[in-house]
Amino acid sequence: MTQHLVVPARPATSGEGESNAQRRTGWWREAVIYQVYPRSFADANGDGMGDLAGIRSRLPYLRDLGVDAVWLSPFYASPQADAGYDVSDYRRVDPMFGELADAAGLIEDAHALGLRVIFDLVPNHCSDQHEWFQQALREGPGSALRKRFHFRDGNGENGELPPNDWESIFGGPAWTRVTEPDGTPGQWYLHLFAPEQPDFDWEHPAVADEFRSILRFWLDLGVDGFRIDVAHGLVKAKGLPDLGVHDQLKLLGNDTMPFFDQDGVHEIYRSWRPILDEYPGERIFVAEAWTPTVDRTANYVRPDELHQAFNFQYLGTGWDAEKLREVVDLTLDAMRPVGAPATWVLSNHDVTRHTTRFANPATGATQIRTPGDRVLGLRRARAATVLMLALPGSAYVYQGEELGLPDVTDLPDEVRQDPSFHRAEGQDGFRDGCRVPIPWSGAEAPYGFGPVAGGPSWLPQPDSWAELSVEVQTGDPTSTLELYRSALAIRAAHPALGAGDSVEWLDAPAGALAFRRAHADGAFVCVANTGSSPVRVSVSSVPGRLLLTSGEEPVRTDSGEEIEIPADTTVWWSA
Ligand code: GLC
């Protein structure tokens, strides 16, 4: 029994066999971008922590998988208070990941394989060990370096209360009081995340200058673009006004906050765009911008700003045909006027893997602590991916989702490193579950993540992952890995897939959605059944050739008039 058709391996990177994204300009309008989480991808030196040499050695795997680009989460010098999103030196590679030559070599190797490389830029905050912050602490109140951060006197008689009521995304107040050089309790500084991550004051020209220089540093090295961390956070409302409510985390994504999505951030991106455009080779910016609406997200990708923004509204939508159709329409309608491609994403290093989200009842939560029904979760996750890859625009794949990895929901508390887990006293911050090193081969942990069987990995891998390794899944036509490979190869070759700004919805039974994508060289139809029983669609609505199905059962076409789509399954056809 074949669950999907195996198509030829990914086309070569030049000449006739180029993929859609390679052939057309504006590669990023349809690119599939694979997120590597450097700590957990591949560990070349066997210390239990992934590294750049490990990533380099696995680049051919990514080429064969069929993605167009690789985005690396931060590998810069960092005390790792937030897994590298606390940067102490923006121009240095942390020794735990390698050195600058490894980053340069990685870019070079990737380019030779036809892959583009995107680095992560963290401009909202740095590490408290960053030279500027350390100097600001030493220089005391009113000093020049303190003006590059948000230092304020406290409220209350003796300044013992934080300057305003803002709460940290990781729990607790967004302010920490410092001890002044003379040993007295002193000013407070703002940190929207952990206390080890002081926010820059972007009103200060030195901050803006520094980041323009950092951009050039990595562009000169040959990087193809940047993912901008907390792109919506750089500018704070004038006067840092109180919110007047508690539990502010619950408002995120729904309400306008004085520290997020302020209009002033767009000036910054308008000043960055010309820098990027000076460099050859269509380099790009992608925004991590959590905003209340898709329309607000579209502001980040106006023609003179960034190229793409993650579609978190899509990520947060459950496995529900009606809601998915709605968010697809909202997204395409929001992006069309600004001329930016839609993006689609189901998993990343901050949320419970979609295999596990879909294994649990839909609550809209992105962090889930129960494994749920694993078989169902995987089935839906596969169907959700096949749907995502059929949509017009660019798509993001998070490392390990191509193996169908579940989130590890039962990590012991003592191995967890997510700072929000510790700040929220174990009530929140379950991001380690999606960050467990991925299995490559072998029967014993770390399953080829590190060079030696029985060697270390910074988070323990479940025993069951022996069965989910790249080695086990390669060549098995029923595996999730081969499903991704097939889907990506078809997507790269089919004229109607990839870039676009609309879909034509077709009639579909309740619980299913169906759309057509037209192209002069051949149309394409996708039907996704999100329900728990099969649905039937008329043969007249689908073109000739079945290309792919996410499920294990054959798609029955024998009646001649109707086609039966099994439960929780997405199917592709070509005309
Ligand atoms: C972003 C990152 C997340 C990090 C946070 C603070 O949301 O994706 O991992 O903790 O920013 O930098």
Q: Of the candidates 367, 424, 429, 419, which has an alpha carbon nearest to the alpha carbon of residue 125?
A: 419
Looking at the structure, do residues 403 and 508 belong to the same domain, yes or no?
no
**Does the annotation mark 196 as catalytic?**
no
What pLDDT is attached to residue 18?
60
What pLDDT is attached to residue 9?
31
Looking at the structure, do residues 247 and 173 belong to the same domain, yes or no?
no
Looking at the structure, do residues 440 and 362 belong to the same domain, yes or no?
yes
Asked whether residue 6 is assigned to any structural domain, the reply reads: no
Q: How far is the CA of 192 from the centre of ligand 1 (A)?
A: 10
Asked whether residue 345 is assigned to any structural domain, the reply reads: yes
Q: How far is the CA of 230 from the centre of ligand 1 (A)?
A: 7
Do 32 and 491 touch, CB atoms closer than 8 A? yes
Helix (H) or strand (E) holding 461: none
Do 48 and 97 touch, CB atoms closer than 8 A? no
> Which of residues 458, 487, 516 is at a domain's end?
487
Q: Which residue CA neighbors atom 5 of ligand 1 most closely?
A: 85
Looking at the structure, do residues 434 and 470 belong to the same domain, yes or no?
yes
Looking at the structure, do residues 524 and 435 belong to the same domain, yes or no?
no
Do 6 and 369 touch, CB atoms closer than 8 A? no
Q: Which residue CA neighbors atom 9 of ligand 1 most closely?
A: 350
Asked whether residue 13 is assigned to any structural domain, the reply reads: no
What pLDDT is attached to residue 455?
98
Looking at the structure, do residues 516 and 536 belong to the same domain, yes or no?
yes
> Which of residues 190, 215, 236 is at a domain's end?
190
What pLDDT is attached to residue 561?
77
Burial class for 355, CB neighbours closer than 10 Å (0-12, 13-18, 19+): buried
Do 565 and 512 touch, CB atoms closer than 8 A? yes
Ligand 1 atom with the shortest distance to the CA of 431? 9
Asked whether residue 9 is assigned to any structural domain, the reply reads: no
> Which of residues 487, 520, 545 is at a domain's end?
487
Determine whether the shortest distance from the Cβ of 85 to ligand 1 is under 6 A.
Answer: yes
Please, what are the averages of pLDDT over each run of 10 residues along the chain (575 residues)? 33 46 78 98 98 98 98 98 98 98 98 98 98 98 97 97 96 96 97 97 98 98 98 98 91 84 97 97 96 94 98 96 98 98 98 97 90 98 98 98 98 95 83 98 98 98 98 98 98 97 96 96 95 89 85 77 92 92
Q: Which residue CA neighbors atom 7 of ligand 1 most closely?
A: 230
Looking at the structure, do residues 68 and 215 belong to the same domain, yes or no?
yes
User: What domain range is 176 assigned to?
Assistant: 131-190
Burial class for 383, CB neighbours closer than 10 Å (0-12, 13-18, 19+): buried
Determine whether the shortest distance from the Cβ of 350 to ligand 1 is under 6 A.
Answer: yes
Burial 269-289 (b: 16+ CB within 10 A, else e): beebbeebeebeebbbbbbbb
Asked whether residue 423 is assigned to any structural domain, the reply reads: yes
Do 171 and 194 touch, CB atoms closer than 8 A? no
Query: Total domain count for the chain?
Result: 3
Q: How far is the CA of 454 from the centre of ligand 1 (A)?
A: 31
Q: How far is the CA of 73 from the centre of ligand 1 (A)?
A: 10
Determine whether the shortest distance from the Cβ of 290 to ligand 1 is under 6 A.
Answer: no
Asked whether residue 507 is assigned to any structural domain, the reply reads: yes
Do 55 and 41 touch, CB atoms closer than 8 A? yes
Looking at the structure, do residues 400 and 274 belong to the same domain, yes or no?
yes
Q: Which residue CA neighbors atom 3 of ligand 1 most closely?
A: 350
Looking at the structure, do residues 297 and 439 belong to the same domain, yes or no?
yes
Q: Of the candidates 123, 132, 106, 144, which has an alpha carbon nearest to the alpha carbon of residue 212?
A: 123
Q: Of the candidates 171, 55, 158, 48, which has an alpha carbon nearest to the alpha carbon of residue 103?
A: 55
Task: Show Cβ contacts of residue 101 under 8 Å, excluding neighbours closer than 6 positions.
Answer: none
Report the relative pairing of strands 535-538 and 185-190 from DSSP bridges: unpaired
Q: Of the candidates 288, 230, 228, 290, which has an alpha carbon nearest to the alpha carbon of residue 254?
A: 290
Q: What is the CATH number of the domain that holds 170?
A: 3.90.400.10
Q: Which of 30, 82, 167, 229 is catalytic?
A: 229
Determine whether the shortest distance from the Cβ of 230 to ligand 1 is under 6 A.
Answer: yes
Query: On the CB side of 325, how many CA atoms lie within 13 Å of its CA?
Result: 20
Asked whether residue 397 is assigned to any structural domain, the reply reads: yes
Q: How far is the CA of 229 from the centre of ligand 1 (A)?
A: 6
Best residue among 85, 192, 310 to mutate for probing ligand 1's pocket (most ligand atoms within 8 Å of CB) is 85
Best residue among 193, 310, 430, 431 to mutate for probing ligand 1's pocket (most ligand atoms within 8 Å of CB) is 193
Asked whether residue 273 is assigned to any structural domain, the reply reads: yes
Looking at the structure, do residues 415 and 444 belong to the same domain, yes or no?
yes
Task: Report the distance separating Cα 438 and Cα 430, nearest Å.
Answer: 17
Q: Which of 131, 278, 467, 504 is catalytic?
A: 278
What are the tens digits of pLDDT across the range 127-182? 999 999 999 999 999 999 999 999 999 999 999 999 999 999 999 999 999 999 99
Helix (H) or strand (E) holding 47: none
Q: What is the CATH number of the domain that holds 94?
A: 3.20.20.80
Tell me the sheet residues that pair with 395: 32, 344
Q: How far is the CA of 24 from the centre of ligand 1 (A)?
A: 33
Q: Of the candidates 533, 513, 534, which has an alpha carbon nearest to the alpha carbon of residue 320?
A: 513
Helix (H) or strand (E) holding 424: none
Determine whether the shortest distance from the Cβ of 120 to ligand 1 is under 6 A.
Answer: no
Determine whether the shortest distance from the Cβ of 432 to ligand 1 is under 6 A.
Answer: no
Q: Which residue CA neighbors atom 2 of ligand 1 most closely?
A: 229
Determine whether the shortest distance from the Cβ of 229 to ligand 1 is under 6 A.
Answer: yes
Looking at the structure, do residues 421 and 557 belong to the same domain, yes or no?
no
Q: Determine phi and psi for 242, rounding to 5 degrees.
A: -60, 155
Looking at the structure, do residues 91 and 165 belong to the same domain, yes or no?
no
Q: How far is the CA of 477 from the centre of ligand 1 (A)?
A: 36
**Does the annotation mark 210 as catalytic?**
no
